[in-house]
Amino acid sequence: MKIRTLGMLLIVIVMAVFLIINWGTLSQVTTVNLVYTEMEAPLGIIVVAAFAAVVVLLMAYTVWQQASVMMELRAAYKEARTARQMAEDADKSRIAEIRADFKERMEKMEALLATRTDEVIRLMAERNQLEDETLSKFRAEQQARADEARASLEQQLRVLEKRVIEALPAPKAEVVEQQSDAKEEEEARKTFRELF
């Protein structure tokens, strides 16, 4: 119990004890003036009854006020609960919207990233193909130059060999040997050309 309630209960008990002790004096009949008339009645009982009526009315008013406050509190609590529920629902919907927006942005970003990756892969493939073609052309040119240089060198060697053979008379055995050496050399050159 609250201290205020205990205090009021203590006052009521003290007053009840006072009334019980002084009941004889309070119940004596006297002349009571009611402004417009006079009558014979116990003044103490009239005062106690009036006081009790006022107390009862005050108590009824207090109970009514507390009941109205309780009803207002319940209504406010209900409103607060409804408002909290609406706020939670709004938060949930906002969170759902944020999730949906985030998911949509992530999907767009993934699509953009995939597109850019495909573009980069395509460009790299084109560059690789272009480099392969350039390298193939360069190899073909180098091979053609090497073949031309080899053919020119072989031509010069043949011319030089003819001049040397014409300039020096060689014995017949040496000529046969030179011819076999020349054939071997020609076969070696042919093999060398086939290999490279």
Q: What does the pLDDT read at residue 174?
A: 60
Say how far apart CA 187 and CA 179 lie, in whole Å: 12
Residues 89-105: b if buried by 16+ CB within 10 A, e if exposed: eeeeeeeeeeeeeeeee
Helix (H), strand (E), coil (C) string for 26-54 = HCCEEEEECCCCEEEEEHHHHHHHHHHHH
Residue with tokens 């207090």: 62
Say how far apart CA 135 and CA 142 lie, in whole Å: 10
Residues 6+ apart with CB under 8 A from 29: 40, 41, 42
Prediction pTM value: 0.40
Q: Hey, where are the domains in the chain?
A: 8-112
- Per-residue confidence of the chain (196 residues) as pLDDT tens digits? 578 778 888 888 898 888 888 888 878 888 878 788 888 888 788 888 888 898 889 889 988 998 999 999 999 999 999 999 998 888 888 888 999 999 999 999 999 999 999 999 999 999 999 998 999 999 989 888 888 888 888 888 888 877 777 776 555 556 567 777 778 777 777 777 776 6
Residue with tokens 């060198």: 153
Q: What does the pLDDT read at residue 12?
A: 82
